[in-house]
Amino acid sequence: MPRGAFRRCPREALRAVVPALAETALAHLAYVLASGGGVLGYLPGYQHEEGYELGGVCRFAQLLLVLPTMRRSLSQPP
C-alpha cells in the first residue's frame, strides 16, 4: 500500500461515502413507500411483547441524543 494512502483527506472519503448512503436511503425509501406498513413485518408485535410503550423513554435514551424530536412523540399519546 502506498505511503500516502493513509494521509488522504476526509473529504475524499466523504465523496464516496455520502453518495453511497444517499443511494441506499433512497432505495429503501422507495421500497417502504411501495410496500406500506407491511414492510415492518413482525416489528409492531415484537414491540408490544417487549413493553415498548409510549412514555418508555428509558429504552430509547441513546436515540434521544441523536433524534431530540423523538422525545416529544414518545411522551405524548396519539
What cell numbers appear for 35 in the block?
Answer: 410496500
Q: Which of 40, 71, 46 is nearest to 56 (CA)?
A: 71
Res 6: pLDDT? 43
Q: Which residues contact 77 (CB under 8 A, 6 or more apart)?
A: 54
Q: pLDDT (tens digit, 9 = 90+) per residue, 9-60?
A: 777 888 888 999 999 999 988 888 888 877 777 877 877 777 776 665 566 6
Q: List the grid coordinates of 8.
A: 488522504
Distance CA 13, CA 4 (A): 14
Structural domain spans, the chain: 1-37, 42-78
Query: Which three three-digit cell numbers place residue 61?
Result: 435514551
Cα distances from 32 to residues 19, 35, 70, in angstroms, run: 20, 5, 20
- Is the pTM above the cut of 0.75? no
